[in-house]
């Protein structure tokens, strides 16, 4: 059973963000079943994807003067700091710590982040800058 069901992919109705979320879910689920040998490279791939994903959201918030930008960016920075902390452990061969982060922390955080922060961002974008 996947950590996050792809059929419940937490879409927000903004293609750029939804594509990033789909990739995050795919990588997270791959990490859950990865061998110890494959885990470090996949963990790094998820970290890089998350950094790029957050940067795209940060650019949207700045471009469209999103009023919740500071709070949203602060959350991104906090999660990236956690990634770096766990990446250090994974790189030292402490795969169990990385698996714990992947299984116990990221799915819950992701669900909350999408349904609160990302939805609020998309609602703002759609209300103030509707697609033409």
C-alpha distances (whole Å) from 128 to each of 13, 16, 24, 39, 64 are: 15, 17, 27, 42, 9
Check residue 101 and give its pLDDT.
97
Check residue 132 and give its pLDDT.
54
Check residue 105 and give its pLDDT.
95
* Backbone torsion region of residue 13, taken as left when φ is above 0, otherwise alpha when ψ lies between -120 and 50, otherwise beta: left
Check residue 6 and give its pLDDT.
72
Check residue 86 and give its pLDDT.
97
Residuewise pLDDT in 10s, the chain (132 residues): 888 887 665 789 899 999 999 999 999 999 999 999 999 999 999 999 999 999 999 999 999 999 999 999 999 999 999 999 999 999 999 999 999 999 999 999 999 999 999 999 999 999 998 765
Q: Which residues contact 54 (CB under 8 A, 6 or more apart)?
A: 76, 79, 80
Q: Which residues contact 86 (CB under 8 A, 6 or more apart)?
A: 43, 97, 98, 101
Domain 13-128 is classified in which CATH homologous superfamily? Hemerythrin-like (1.20.120.50)
The structure's pTM equals: 0.92
């Amino acid at each position: 059973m996947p950590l996050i069901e792809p059929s419940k992919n937490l879409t927000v109705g903004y293609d750029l963000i939804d594509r990033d979320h789909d990739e995050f879910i795919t990588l997270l689920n791959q990490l859950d079943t990865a061998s110890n040998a494959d885990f470090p490279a996949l963990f790094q791939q998820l970290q890089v994807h998350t950094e790029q994903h957050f940067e795209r959201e940060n650019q949207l918030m700045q471009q469209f003067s999103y009023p919740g930008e500071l709070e949203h960016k602060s959350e991104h920075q906090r999660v990236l700091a956690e990634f770096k902390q766990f990446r250090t452990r994974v790189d030292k061969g402490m795969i169990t710590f990385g698996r714990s982060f992947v299984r116990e922390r990221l799915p819950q955080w992701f669900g909350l982040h999408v349904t609160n922060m990302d939805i609020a961002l998309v609602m703002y974008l759609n209300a103030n800058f509707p697609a033409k």
